[in-house]
Amino acid sequence: MRLLLVEDDPALANSTKRALESQGWAVDWTTRGEPVPQSLRQDPYDLVILDIGLAGIDGFETLRRVRAQGSSTPVLILTARDAVEDRVRGLEGGADDYLVKPFALAELVARVRVLTRRVQARSGDALGLGSLRMDLAARRVFIGERPLEVSAREWSVLEFLLSRVGKVVAKEQILQSIANWDESLSENAIEVYVSRLRAKIEPAGLRIRTVRGFGYLLETADAAP
């Protein structure tokens, strides 16, 4: 999973980020709310962890802007405000859950798991095209009934492409979707993963077509160029 943490307390953000990353999740961190709506338009985050007491626009306004643009990404708000009206305001504004500071990191991890399971239950737990199928819950890929071996990076690239079938995606979009903001990963690496996937999904009658100047398009092999 890829999570976006919006927290302006560096000490709390660092400990929270480490706890989430210990679960194998990719975590991006920003201290301000202003860039969050644009980030959600560009990147496929699974969940936003949003502090209410931010500098600049606060968490309530950040949440309002996120929901106003039509994003349904789950949002867990963090607040030091224990007043009932603040919690109600956050939930009525579109938050999916909340935690009051100080909180136990184990509880935060548990709530993240619950929220993302709810989303997967609503949206289904598989992606596919032709005879290719990704079981998101089991993290396995199949061509028909035959398992297809892919690396963790190849899985992430394939999941991104399958979730955008019929759309051209840029290398930069793929790069941002599979890497932490503090992780070094090049567009050349994306080309390597795409090249490996091309060979692996060919038996499923699929291809990853390069659209010059724009990016990649996952489609069936008999689709018109």
> Tokens representing 136?
């998101």
pTM check: above 0.95: no
Strand order across the beta sheet in which 146-148 lies:
126-129, 132-135, 140-143, 146-148
Residues 96 and 14 in one domain: yes
pLDDT per residue, tens digit, the chain (225 aa), is 789 999 999 999 999 999 999 888 889 999 999 999 998 887 778 899 999 999 899 999 999 999 998 888 899 999 886 667 878 888 889 998 889 888 899 999 988 988 876 665 445 567 888 899 988 777 889 998 899 999 888 988 998 898 888 788 888 888 876 765 445 677 888 899 999 999 999 999 999 999 988 899 999 887 656
Q: Of 88, 123, 158, which residue constitutes the final position of a domain? A: 123
Count Cα neighbours of 102 within 13 Å in the Cβ-side half-sphere: 4
Domain encompassing residue 14: 2-123
Residues 183 and 200 in one domain: yes
CB neighbourhood size of 70 (10 A): 8
Q: Of 67, 92, 123, which residue constitutes the final position of a domain? A: 123
Spatial CA neighbour of 76 closest among 41, 43, 52: 52
Write out the DSSP string of 117-181.
HHHHHHH-SEEEETTEEEETTTTEEEETTEEE---HHHHHHHHHHHTTTTS-B-HHHHHHHHS-T
Spatial CA neighbour of 54 closest among 12, 1, 116, 108: 12
Handedness of CA 63, 68, 69, 70 (dihedral sign): positive
Structural domain total, the chain: 2
Residues 147 and 206 in one domain: yes
